[in-house]
Amino acid sequence: MRASRVFGRALAVALLSLTLVLVVGGVYVNAYQSPPYPFPPTFPVNNFDFTISTSRTLIMIQPGQSGGLVVWVNLYCPNSATNIRCDSTVLQSVYLTVSGCPGGAFCILDKQQVLLPPVYQAGSNFIIYTFPAIPVGSSPYLITVTGTDQFGDTHSASFGVIVCYC
């Protein structure tokens, strides 16, 4: 009888100790993780999106000369409500194409594909080479850079190129 009473007390103390450890441990872990986000931070991949901008809106060059600007690709996650903007485990790839290059000129991007680490930006240098025979005028040629990422998002930026004796 005495042995069962001692065993019952020991079992009660062990269960109480285990309960205390689990409760205190859970409170500590929850206090460490919240707010604002779980660790490691994860957000759905469909939060990825990006914008494209250019360092200038107009390039003015003479025939036979070259000019350029920087095409910036900025990553943002419009559905994320925290200070962490994107899923930190996915490297986003954006493929760039150029359209609208004037006849008699050569347009090139130094990077057709840019890789964006989460929360950052990447750039590609756009360069246009003209040749002496290119028509001179005062109206700009409209050039568009379009980016498409691996999730199917597409955005573009446009700028003008004027070939003139200016």
pLDDT, residue 31, reads: 44
> In CATH, what is the architecture of 45-163?
Sandwich (2.60)
Tokens encoding 33: 């993780």
* Residue keyed to tokens 């441990």: 25
Residue 131 has pLDDT above 60, yes or no: yes
Helix (H) or strand (E) holding 95: strand 92-99
Residues 111-125: b if buried by 16+ CB within 10 A, e if exposed:
beebebebeeebbbe
Q: Do the beta carbons of residue 118 and residue 124 sit within 8 Å? A: no
Instruction: Give the residue with greater pLDDT, 161 vs 4.
Output: 161
Domain boundaries, the chain: 1-34, 45-163
Q: Tens digits of per-residue pLDDT, 91-123?
A: 889 999 999 999 889 999 999 999 988 777 899
How much is the pTM?
Answer: 0.67
Q: Tens digits of per-residue pLDDT, 28-82?
A: 444 444 445 445 555 454 557 889 999 999 999 999 999 999 999 988 765 555 5
Angstrom distances, CA of residue 116 to CA of 2, 49, 71, 83, 105 = 71, 11, 13, 18, 30
Query: How many C-beta neighbours within 10 Å does residue 62 have?
Result: 16
